Structure 1
Amino acid sequence: MAIHRTGRARTRALTTAALAVVSALALSACAGGSTPAPSGGSGAAADHGEISVQYSWIKNEEFAGEFYAYENGYYDDAGFSDVVGISGPDTGVAKLLSGTVQVALSDAASIGAAIAEQDAPLKIIGATFQKNPFTILSLADGGNITTPQDLVGKKIGVQDSNASVFAALLNANGIDPADVTVVPVEFDPTPLMNGDVDGFMAYLTNEALTVELAGYDITNLAYADNGVPYVAETFSVTDQYLAENKELLKAFLTAEIKGWTDVFQNSTDDSVALITKYYNQAAEDSADGLEAVFGALDPTKTAKGLEAEKLLISTPETEANGLFTISDELKQQTVASLKAAGWDVSVDDLFDTTIIDEIYAENADLKNYLP
């Protein structure tokens, strides 16, 4: 089955999102008023009502922590009558600005582009992925691209919506774009397997696994480890919603921390079973959604995807500071990576991590997510 032929809506949908921002900005004033204000405190007595959360992709292993938060009642305990998780693909930018959703699981490139290009009033308040999942995928007996300099003279398959991020990889490593042949591709890695390209812009958590499971020996040139480190799967909100709903967001992020802690403390088999349950429910609820289009989850690939994600989520910094935290160094690295892609934003433009920092200051035990 071809994977993600429709495209994915993180950096893949930046052009569409940027166009939508223009009209959505006019509606941003209402973005902070759709959820009841908390009565005070983030304890069990709080009543935060219902909120909507835009997922960046289909309801697969990328949202295992959210599924545990549902399954184990963490959202309920936090005072929410319902947390409506909305399947992607979607960057969430336009929906945040219009007030259609209150939180989006997006990425630094999508949020940073909206801020840089349209002065969108958005903030990243935490990040699930400390490392972005982009990679230049190659075959070990083919292009075997192990260093950025190996890109020189090669044919690289790049999706149109990822052109800016690929340009950032070249820029960050001092490579002249004229020295690389870019071949337009979709998200199906067949051109790589057929030898039509030497490298393929992919996800460590998706297409790289597809090719590996097809029996090929692969080589990954991970962006995060080769000059383009930035956070992804970010908790993103409007400035107004953040200012008006700090206790609600504190309660929400606390539930999320507990859910993702369960991902690390439960067996992979148990997590795959839970992911499959929520994926299948999404397919039943929306027959024309991508969950239904893609058909049944492959449990082997789902398990591998989950383990690959853990490597992006858990780092020495999160072990010390807690899940979703973003160090000052990583914030600086993120804005530098965005600048290499053509989006000039400051740390203060992009981030406000006061809530996640407060959570751990008040509940240090939540830092202990590893088994």
Structure 2
Amino acid sequence: MTSKRPMLRRLAAGAAVAVGALLLSACAGADSSSPGESTSPAGDLGELTVQLSWILNEEWSGELIADSEGYYADAGLAGVQLVPGPSSGVPELLSGTADLSLTDALSVGAAVANEGAPLKVIGATFQKNPFTIASLTDGADITTPQDMIGKKIGVQDSNRAVFDAFLAANDIDPAEVEIVPVQYDPAPLTTGEVDGLIAFVTSQSVTIELQGLEVTDLLFADNGLPFVGHVVTATDETIAADRDALKAFLTAEIRGWTDAVADPSTGAQLAVQEYGSDLGLDLESSTASATAQAELLVVSEETAKNGLFTISDDLQEQTLASLATAGYELSAADLFDLSLLDEVYAENPDLVAYQQ
């Protein structure tokens, strides 16, 4: 299944309106403290260090809002340190330098399967993974996995494993595709250096469209490789020793992402003007990306029924099947522990209704 992105085009066109609204509102929780550190009175549950898989941009809208609005402190945490990536988060968890990571299910599954890493996914921000093969509609226009055969595909080093899994899921020999090493900038696609590019449907693809170019997206999730994304992951030891702190974190996360879904422009503003102010982010692009992210990845029929961060039995099985395609055989009990999230919603049933 491919997408010619008409909705995202409308989102991009409407971003200027959202930007105007942003300029009229100030971030209620902003102050001179460094991003990721709460200035609220210390809570009873201590501090948590969270390793992010990517830079402090709008991808972390819910976390930025939770920090800025004091939701972590309200939940009883003395502070939450958001550590920017890029990183899979696995080394930091296993070394004890991070209590939690927000990363991709493939990295976690590989560590559990290959190394016996004592890690568990306790929730997922994204109901579907954001990976896509982006191509120019007026160029290669890659609409099926088989269209990649004989084409130049730009692949970042950190995404080689997920690309190999995508090829395997579609019975394509890596030798049939010319893999071109690239970074995260979409320029190689727009300049014709590559025919397709591994991208996030809510990031690089949006950036290209804002340049006035139409993008065809070949979504991994719709073409043999569905798995949850931005999974909240902790070690078995942390789950056992700091269960209440992790539940507090999930509670604050749900509140933060509830706000991010209701008004994606808020997270974009925080990323551009405060948390990622040294990254040269563009407010129009960040707003369009945050909006697409909220609508395409964060919400689903499952979240509407059971709340944000939940992972249905079916989606767990899809994730495990995708991991098996990549060579990582696991059971649900090996990878998931959703009991904390179940307890959070049982104790705070009002959090389920994030749409109200």
Of 330, 336, 343, the match for 1:345: 330
Q: Deviations over 1:124-160 (max 9, x none)?
A: 1000011111100000011111122222332222223
Taking the aligned partners of 1:271 and 1:121, their CA distance within structure 2 comes to 32
Structure 1's 73 and 213: CA in aligned 2 closer, same or farther, altered over 3 A?
same
2:270 counterpart letter in structure 1: L
1:273 and 2:306 aligned: no
Segment drifting more, 257-266 vs 341-350: 341-350
**Partner residue, 1:361:** 346
Q: Does residue 1:242 correspond to 2:227, yes or no?
A: no
**Alignment equivalent of 1:86, drawn from 83, 86, 95:** 83
* Gapped regions of structure 1 (runs ≥ 5): 1-43, 284-291
C-alpha distance 86-195 of structure 1, shift in aligned 2 (>3 A): same
Q: How far 1:247 sits from its partner (Å)?
A: 1.7
Match of 2:135 in 1: 138
Where in structure 2 are the equivalents of 1:89-100 lying within 5 Å?
Answer: 89-100=86-97
Kindly provide the CA deviation profile for residues 181-238 of structure 1, in whole angstroms up to 9, marking residues without a partner as x.
3223222222221223221111112211222122211100011111101111111100
**Whole-angstrom CA distance in 1 between matches of 2:44 and 2:141:** 54
State the distance in 2 between where 1:164 and 1:90 align.
14
Q: Quote the residue 2:290 is aligned against.
A: 306
Q: 1:364 to 1:137 in 2, by over 3 A?
A: same
* TM-score of the aligned structures, taking structure 1 as reference length: 0.80
The answer to whether 1:206 aligns with 2:191 is no
Contact 1:125–1:237, Cα closer than 8 Å, also in 2? yes
Specify the SS of the correspondent of 1:80.
coil
**Aligned partners of 1:186, 1:87: CA distance in 2, in Å?**
17
Contact kept, 8 Å, 1:49 with 1:82, in 2: the verdict is yes
Give the whole-Å Cα distance in 2 for the aligned partners of 1:300 and 1:53.
27
Letter in 2 for 1:153: G
Query: Which residue of the partner structure matches residue 76 of structure 1?
Result: 73
Kindly state the Cα deviation for residue 46 of structure 1 after the two structures are TM-superposed: 6.8
**In structure 2, what is the Cα distance between the partners aligned to 1:160 and 1:71?**
33
Q: Name which of structure 1's ranges 299-308 and 167-176 shifts more when overlaid on structure 2.
A: 167-176
Q: Which residue of 2 aligns with 1:123?
A: 120
Q: Which residue of 1 aligns with 2:306?
A: 321
Residue of structure 2 aligned with 1:336, choices 321, 338, 347: 321
Q: How does 1:211-226 map to 2 (within 5 A)?
A: 211-226=208-223
What is the total number of aligned residue pairs between the two structures? 315
| Residue of structure 2 in register with 1:110 after alignment | 107
1:49 is aligned to 46
Percent of aligned pairs with the same residue?
53
For residues 72-101 of structure 1, give each alpha carbon's deviation from its aligned partner in whole angstroms, at most 9, with x where no partner exists.
221111111111111222222111112111
Q: Where do 5+ consecutive residues of structure 2 fail to align?
A: 1-40
* 8 Å CA contact 1:56, 1:105 repeated in 2: yes
Counterparts of 1:178-189 in structure 2, within 5 Å, are 178-189=175-186
d(CA) in 2 for partners of 1:155 and 1:92?
30
3-state SS, counterpart of residue 322 of structure 2: helix
Amino acid at match of 1:83: V
Determine helix, strand or coil for the equivalent of 1:48.
coil
TM-score by length of 2: 0.83
- Equivalent residue for 1:160? 157
Aligned residues of 1:59 and 1:278 also touching (Cα < 8 A): no
The answer on whether the counterparts of 1:144 and 1:219 sit within 8 Å (CA) in structure 2 is: yes
CA RMSD of aligned residues (A): 1.9
Q: Give, in whole Å, the separation in 1 of the partners of 2:270 and 2:53.
A: 19
**CA distance in 2 between partners of 1:178 and 1:61 (Å):** 36
Distance across 2 between alignment mates of 1:271 and 1:191: 28
Alpha-carbon distance change, 161 to 263 in structure 1, aligned in 2, over 3 angstroms: closer
The one-letter amino acid of 1:355's match is L
Give the whole-Å Cα distance in 2 for the aligned partners of 1:105 and 1:329: 21
**Cα distance change of structure 1 residues 161 and 321 upon mapping to structure 2, 3 Å threshold:** same
The alpha carbon displacement at 1:45 in A equals 11
Would the alpha carbon gap of residues 264 and 187 (structure 1) be closer, same or farther in structure 2, given more than 3 Å must change? closer
Cα deviation 1:239-286 (Å, max 9, x = unaligned):
1110122222111111110111111223x4444323334325xx5xxx
